[in-house]
Amino acid sequence: MYTQKTLAVVVGPTAVGKTATAIFLAQHFDTEIISADSRQFYREMSIGTAKPDADELKTAPHHFIDSHSIEEEYSAGNFEREALVLLDMLFQKQDVVIMVGGSGLFVRAVCEGLDDLPKAPQCVRDRLNHEFAERGLTPLQERLKQIDPSYYVVADIANPQRVIRALEVYEATGRPISQFQKQGTGKRPFQIITIGLHMEREKLYERINLRVDKMMEQGLLDEVKSLLPYRHKPALLTVGYAELFDYLDGKCSLEEAVDKIKQNSRRYAKRQITWFKKYGDTTWFDSTDREGICAFLEQKIYS
C-alpha cells in the first residue's frame, strides 16, 4: 500500500526528454499525466510546442493537452485552480499522478500556489506595451536586469509578458517582483516529489537544433501563418513563433529566423535549468536513467 497520495513532477529543459520519461513513469505506476507546459494547452499550437504525438497520447491518459483555444485567456492562476480540482478527482482512484513540464511558473502554481502580486494601473501596462511595440524587448530586459537582477537570472526574459509584468510591479510599488515571491508557503494535501532531468549540455543543444529542424519540416511556418490573427496573444510571444512572425514581417530571412529559434531555444533551456536548480527540493537524474528514477520514487512513496 502507498503511504500517501503523491504528485511526481518531472521537470527540466526543453528537448531533454521529459515527455518520454513521464510516459514511462505513468505506465510503471499505471496512472495519468498532467501537462504543465504553458503552450501545450492550446489546440492551435502543436508543432512549435513539441506536443506528445498521437501514439504517445495513447500510451497513458493525458490532461491539459489541447484543452483550450488560443482565443481564450488562460493564466497560471487558472491552471492552478483547474489542476487542483483534477488532482482531487484523480487521487480518488490513483495513489500517484505524474505532472510534467518545463514552464516553471505553472509547475510552481500547482505545487505551491502563486504569489499575491499587486495590480498595476492600466496606464502603466499600456505604456510598457507601447514601448515594447516601438522599441522591442531588449530595452525592457535591460531595465529589469538593473532593478531586479535576482529575478532576471531565473525569469524567462525572452517572454515579453513576464518582463512587462515584472516592470509593472516595480513601477506600481517601487519594489522588485522578487520581493513578493513566496518561499514555499502553499501547503498541499499530497506529497510532492520533483524529479529533474539533465543531459550533457553539448548533447542537449544538438537535440534542440535537430528538434527545430524537424519542426520546420513538419510545417511550423504554415502553423505560424495560421496564427497571424492571434499574434498579440501572450502564448505566441514566445520562442518558435515570435521569430517566424519577424520573418513574415520582412524583418529577416527564413534562414535567419530558424537560426534565431535555435539560439533562443538554447538560451531558454539554460534559463530553465537555472530556474529548476533554484526551485524547491529537486532530485536530478540523467535523462536516460528511467529505472533509477522509478526506484527512487518507489523508495520515497513507500517509506
Q: What is the pLDDT of residue 266?
A: 96
Whole-structure pTM value? 0.83
Q: What is the pLDDT of residue 186?
A: 63
CA distances from 121 to 147, 160, 175 (A): 19, 18, 15
Distance CA 303, CA 301 (A): 6
Grid cell of 282 as nine digits: 529537486
The number of angstroms, rounded, from the C-alpha of 219 to the middle of its chain's C-alpha atoms is 22
- Do 163 and 244 fall into the same domain? no
Distance CA 120, CA 17 (A): 38
CATH code for position 288: 3.40.50.300
- Choosing from 158, 180, 202, the residue where a domain stops is 180
Instruction: Give the residue carrying C-alpha cell 534542440.
Output: 208
| Residue 284 lies in domain | 6-114+182-302
Bridge partners, residue 197, by sequence? 285
Question: Does residue 1 fall inside a structural domain?
Answer: no
Q: Are 140 and 131 in contact (CB under 8 A)?
A: yes
Distance CA 246, CA 288 (A): 36
7-18 pLDDT per residue, tens:
999 999 999 999
- Do 137 and 265 fall into the same domain? no
- Choosing from 180, 197, 224, the residue where a domain stops is 180
Instruction: Count other C-beta atoms under 10 Å from residue 36's C-beta.
Output: 28
What residues have CB less than 8 Å from 56, skipping those under 6 apart? 19, 23
Distance CA 98, CA 8 (A): 5
Question: Does residue 252 fall inside a structural domain?
Answer: yes
User: What's the burial of 136, exposed, middle or buried (CB within 10 Å: 0-12/13-18/19+)?
Assistant: exposed
- Do 29 and 139 fall into the same domain? no
Q: Amino acid identity, residue 84?
A: L
CATH code for position 161: 1.10.20.140
Grid cell of 58 as nine digits: 495513447
- Do 168 and 32 fall into the same domain? no
Q: Are 197 and 10 in contact (CB under 8 A)?
A: yes
Structure letter (DSSP) for residue 119? P
- Do 289 and 225 fall into the same domain? yes
Task: From first to last of the 303 residues of the chain, give the pLDDT tens digit.
Answer: 456 899 999 999 999 999 999 999 999 999 999 999 999 999 999 999 999 999 999 999 999 999 999 998 888 889 999 999 999 999 999 999 999 998 888 999 999 887 777 777 888 888 888 888 788 888 999 999 998 988 888 777 877 888 888 898 888 888 888 887 655 456 899 999 999 999 999 999 999 999 999 999 999 999 999 999 999 888 898 899 999 999 999 999 999 999 999 999 999 999 899 888 887 789 999 999 999 999 999 999 987
Q: What is the pLDDT of residue 160?
A: 82
Q: Vertex 156, ends 151 and 160: CA angle to 5°?
A: 105
- Choosing from 163, 180, 197, the residue where a domain stops is 180
